[in-house]
Amino acid sequence: MSADETANDEYDEPLFFQVMQYAARTDRDVVGMVSGNPDWEPPAALRDGLREYADADPPQLQYPASEGLRYLREEIAARRNVDASRIVVTNGTGEANYLAMARAMERDAGREFLLTDPVYPYYPGKATMLGGTATKVPVLESGAPDVAAMREAASPETAAVLVNTPNNPTGAVYDRETVESLLEIAEENDALLLVDEVYDHFDFSGEFESALTLDSDRVVVTTGFSKSMAITGFRVGYAVFPNHLVEAAKTRHMLVNVATTRPGQVAVHRALEETPTEYYEETRGMLRERIASFTDALDAAGATYTTPKGAFYVMARFEDFPGTIANVERLIDEAGVAGMPGEAFGEAYDDWIRFALVTPRADEAAERLADYFA
Amino acid sequence: MSADETANDEYDEPLFFQVMQYAARTDRDVVGMVSGNPDWEPPAALRDGLREYADADPPQLQYPASEGLRYLREEIAARRNVDASRIVVTNGTGEANYLAMARAMERDAGREFLLTDPVYPYYPGKATMLGGTATKVPVLESGAPDVAAMREAASPETAAVLVNTPNNPTGAVYDRETVESLLEIAEENDALLLVDEVYDHFDFSGEFESALTLDSDRVVVTTGFSKSMAITGFRVGYAVFPNHLVEAAKTRHMLVNVATTRPGQVAVHRALEETPTEYYEETRGMLRERIASFTDALDAAGATYTTPKGAFYVMARFEDFPGTIANVERLIDEAGVAGMPGEAFGEAYDDWIRFALVTPRADEAAERLADYFA
């Protein structure tokens, strides 16, 4: 057994903020492609919802139900075809993942999280904070999980298999067969399958299918509105738990946060109700164009790169320029482009640098990279 | 050693929501005095801040700094006369308390939280969730902590002394000597002193002094804007840690919540900057009047009661009518008044019922109680 949660104070802070601060401190013009902060407009109805809320009567400014506003949970439930009682509205997908991971540990059926490498760095951070361990299994060349290697790595110590699809940072979209296999691995080891689907609105492949459709009492799906509505600062997400796991998750949510911010919930609900599908289609269209022109420029720079099937990140590899934090800082200073070091995501992609396509200047960034590496 | 955090899934959900739901389900008219939800107006500048934010450019809608918006932390720091680096802006005072309690456990210097009885029920809930234990020491007749008994109860197993002043539910405001004594107890047992000051703007005694003035590296002060600005639903609070404890608290905050909601932070900052002290004075004046007329009516009802020196709760005791949840539900059904059962706060006040003065109908409620108990 590993040490308990609160005995671990050595968990690492993810590097995102550190890199962004470095980029902000430099004097030169830098194209920022570090964090997954959308630069596009949120749905108009979201702004309307917030504006109207600013004039709400005092009772509307007070605690929402701890598990989330009833009408928001019902709207989500109808869209996701699940019972509203299974939903906890959280302080972003970040808290949803925390609740799901804590729930996996509380089952007392293992303390290990089985992750992919590369991995979203918050997952191992949360695992360690919760007193668990993180085992990272390198993905296949395609970016898809190596199911055979994950099966090999799994054991009764495995508390949960935790994956993210569409994937940050690889851009892979896991096909249904893969996710079913991951569920089997969870079943074989009395573990949960946690699937973070926060990029669910950014599937360019047409292959994405939510793990909710597996209809399994071992699956927890987490997601949020940060990316799909371009509001990472609002902090509204949710988790869908199986019935037998949801009550304790709601209690933890209450004890940690009391409730999720109400202005955000109200605005998101309004946007869910009124935003036409064209909004999401247009965003995807814009991102497709950015991906195409950024990767064209990377071709010109002689770089190797991933073409995302989902999410909005491109991983690029430049000859003799591994994805260390030192090199990323060099790129900021010398090329005027800020990315995330591949080493922040594990070892499998530590030669790579991740670029978030959240700027209209992605082309310019690619040209700068081409010049720099010429 | 007690079990670790995630092995505990038996922690209790505080009763607030349960009682409010019961009151909401009944057909008859009920005066709601359960939860500490202010019914008065927030500062006008808060609404202005939120309205303006609804039109902010996309970058302003994205992740704030994890530890809180710099300008909000600086504004708080200036007002509290502490270094901004010691401040973490949290998802309400609830998260601030969670971070402080987790930090106390992480010091590996005991796993017990020394609390008062009566106690704000989230504290023992959080203690158990974190894998700690809760020891409750009955307060004095005045509502002040029984310092001698707390000293007696403290031991090297004590991770923190955790108190709340101005106090919910007793209405006591702890004098400086008392808080200094509690700090001594913490020092004698290598523990922290955690002081939840969320009612700091509701001191009717003139005796309240923040524990920040103790200037001790063992003191963590938590508070928020939920009560002072009448916005419990916004979820904006903060903790002030000593320098040597703040970094790990920031990391936990990042790993659990990523950041605190930005619309709320922006609105609170605007309100801090522009709200005249008269706003807070007027609120206190209104509450003084409510306290006076509610307790007058309780006199008429022959009840024993507490007259709050701070916060906005009155505890009342009716003959042969202990503060059980069953009796509180009877009062809802038969008298049309909803309070909180004293037993929800521990054993010391389990004969009492707490009434939150968050309704203009407090007088009417008192008359209903007088009729019911006549």
A19-55 pLDDT per residue, tens: 888 888 888 999 999 988 999 999 999 999 999 999 9
Q: Which two tokens stand for residue B353?
A: 């019922």
Residues in chain A closer than 8 A to B227 (CB atoms): none
pLDDT confidence tier of residue A258, bands split at 50, 70 and 90: very high
Q: Residue B52 falls within a domain, yes or no?
A: no
- What does the pLDDT read at residue A14? 61
Asked if B138 and B132 touch (Cβ cutoff 8 Å), the reply is no
Across all residues in chain A, what is the average pLDDT?
93
Contact B230 A39 (CB under 8 A): no
- What does the pLDDT read at residue A23? 86
Say whether both A63 and A33 belong to one domain.
no
Most distant pair of Cα atoms in chain B: their distance: 62
Residues in chain B closer than 8 A to A20 (CB atoms): none
- What does the pLDDT read at residue A13? 53
Contact A131 B62 (CB under 8 A): no
Residue A232 pLDDT > 60, yes or no? yes
Residues in chain B closer than 8 A to A4 (CB atoms): 3-7, 131
Residue A8 pLDDT > 70, yes or no? no
- What does the pLDDT read at residue A249? 97
- Provide the 3-class DSSP secondary structure of residue A6: helix
Q: Which residue of B has its CA nearest to A124?
A: B255
Say whether both B197 and B299 belong to one domain.
no
What is the distance between the terminal CA atoms of chain A, rounded to a whole angstrom?
A: 52
Say whether both A12 and A158 belong to one domain.
no
Give me the mean pLDDT over the B286-309 stretch: 93
Of B94, B80, B86, which Cα lies nearest the Cα of B210? B80
Residues in chain A closer than 8 A to B70 (CB atoms): none
The CA angle B114-B117-B123, to the nearest 5 degrees, is 55
Say whether both A37 and A81 belong to one domain.
no
Of B60, B120, B38, B6, which Cα lies nearest the Cα of B266? B60
Q: Residue B46 falls within a domain, yes or no?
A: no
How would you class A137 by CB atoms within 10 Å of its CB: exposed for 0-12, middle for 13-18, buried for 19 or more?
buried
- Last residue of one domain, picked from the residues A242, A274, A306: A274
Say whether both A151 and A62 belong to one domain.
yes
Give me the mean pLDDT over the A155-177 stretch: 97
Three-state secondary structure readout of B114-146:
EEEECCCCHHHHHHHHCCCEEEEEECCCCCCCC
Contact A257 B8 (CB under 8 A): no
Contact A231 B102 (CB under 8 A): no
How many CB atoms neighbour CB B200 within 10 A? 21
Interface contacts (A, B; CB < 8 Å) = 231
The CA angle A270-A276-A281, to the nearest 5 degrees, is 125
Residue A299 pLDDT > 80, yes or no? yes
Residues in chain B closer than 8 A to A63 (CB atoms): 35, 37, 232-233
Asked if B138 and B348 touch (Cβ cutoff 8 Å), the reply is yes
- What does the pLDDT read at residue B7? 38
Say whether both B230 and B140 belong to one domain.
yes
Say whether both B228 and B295 belong to one domain.
no
Give me the mean pLDDT over the B133-161 stretch: 97
Of A229-233, A357-361, B3-7, which range is least confident? B3-7
**Close Cβ partners of B119 (under 8 Å, ≥ 6 residues apart):** B134, B136, B345, B346
Contact B257 A37 (CB under 8 A): no
Q: Residue B250 falls within a domain, yes or no?
A: yes
**Close Cβ partners of A347 (under 8 Å, ≥ 6 residues apart):** A117, A136, A138
pLDDT confidence tier of residue B19, bands split at 50, 70 and 90: confident
Q: Are strands B112-117 and B133-138 parallel, antiparallel or unpaired?
A: parallel
Say whether both B249 and B326 belong to one domain.
no
- What does the pLDDT read at residue A301? 84
Give the percent of chain A with pLDDT over 90: 89
Residue B222 pLDDT > 50, yes or no? yes
Residue A1 pLDDT > 80, yes or no? no
- What does the pLDDT read at residue A117? 97
Q: What CA–CA distance (Å, rounded) separates B231 from B36?
A: 11
Residues in chain A closer than 8 A to B65 (CB atoms): 17
Say whether both A335 and A197 belong to one domain.
no
Q: Which of A13, A230, A252 sits opposite B129 (nearest CB)?
A: A252
**Close Cβ partners of A65 (under 8 Å, ≥ 6 residues apart):** A259, B17
Residue A7 pLDDT > 50, yes or no? no
Q: Which of B6, B95, B105 sits opposite A102 (nearest CB)?
A: B6
A174-196 pLDDT per residue, tens: 999 999 999 999 999 999 999 99
Q: What CA–CA distance (Å, rounded) separates B320 from B322?
A: 6
Distance from CA of B243 to the nearest CA of A (A): 15
Distance from CA of A374 to the nearest CA of B (A): 32
Contact B251 A3 (CB under 8 A): no
Say whether both A30 and A87 belong to one domain.
no
Contact B235 A260 (CB under 8 A): yes
Contact B7 A252 (CB under 8 A): no
R_g of chain B computed on alpha carbons: 20
Helix axes B92-106, B243-257, angle to 10 degrees: 120
pLDDT confidence tier of residue B13, bands split at 50, 70 and 90: low
DSSP A117-149: ES--THHHHHHHHTT-EEEEEEPPTTSS--HHH
Cα atoms found within 13 Å of the Cα of residue B334, Cβ hemisphere only: 11
Q: Which residue of A has its CA nearest to B107?
A: A7
DSSP A302-366: T-EE---SBSSEEEEEBTTB---HHHHHHIIIIISEE-EEGGGG-STTTT-EEEE--STTHHHHH
pLDDT confidence tier of residue B9, bands split at 50, 70 and 90: very low
Q: Residue B19 falls within a domain, yes or no?
A: yes
List the alpha helices (DSSP H) in A64-209. 70-80, 92-106, 122-129, 147-153, 176-188
Residues in chain A closer than 8 A to B268 (CB atoms): none
- What does the pLDDT read at residue A27? 86
Contact A54 B51 (CB under 8 A): yes
Say whether both B207 and B86 belong to one domain.
yes
pLDDT confidence tier of residue A2, bands split at 50, 70 and 90: very low
- What does the pLDDT read at residue A19? 84
User: The domain that contains A190 carries what CATH number?
Assistant: 3.40.640.10
Structural domain that includes position A346: 5-41+277-373
Q: Which of A9, A105, A235 sits opposite B6 (nearest CB)?
A: A105
Is the model more confident about B12 or about B194? B194
Residue B302 pLDDT > 60, yes or no? yes
Q: Residue A19 corresponds to which amino acid?
A: V
Residues in chain B closer than 8 A to A94 (CB atoms): 255-258
Asked if A64 and B261 touch (Cβ cutoff 8 Å), the reply is no
- Last residue of one domain, picked from the residues B220, B240, B274: B274
Counted residue by residue, chain B has a size of 374
Query: Which residue bears the tokens 């049309």?
Result: B336
Find out whether the peptide bond into B308 is cis, omega within 30 degrees of 0.
Answer: no
Q: What is the ipTM of this complex?
A: 0.94
Residues in chain B closer than 8 A to A6 (CB atoms): 4-5, 102, 105-106, 130-132
Contact B6 A262 (CB under 8 A): no
Give me the mean pLDDT over the B158-183 stretch: 98
Strand partners, A196: A164, A222
CA distances from A18 to A11, A14, A21, A25, A339 (A): 15, 8, 5, 11, 12
Across all residues in chain B, what is the average pLDDT?
93
- What does the pLDDT read at residue A16? 73
Q: Which of B62, B95, B233 sits opposite A37 (nearest CB)?
A: B62
Number of independent structural domains in chain A: 2
Q: Which of B50, B63, B133, B168 is the best substitution to test chain A (most A C-beta atoms within 10 A)? A: B63
Distance from CA of B304 to the nearest CA of A (A): 30
- Last residue of one domain, picked from the residues A274, A290, A307: A274
User: The domain that contains B303 carries what CATH number?
Assistant: 3.90.1150.10
Residues in chain B closer than 8 A to A19 (CB atoms): none
Contact B9 A255 (CB under 8 A): no
- What does the pLDDT read at residue A207? 93
Say whether both B133 and B195 belong to one domain.
yes
Is the model more confident about A35 or about B168? B168
Residues in chain B closer than 8 A to A231 (CB atoms): 61-62
Contact B130 A232 (CB under 8 A): no
Q: Which of A61, A67, A88, A105 is the best substitution to test chain B (most B C-beta atoms within 10 A)? A: A61
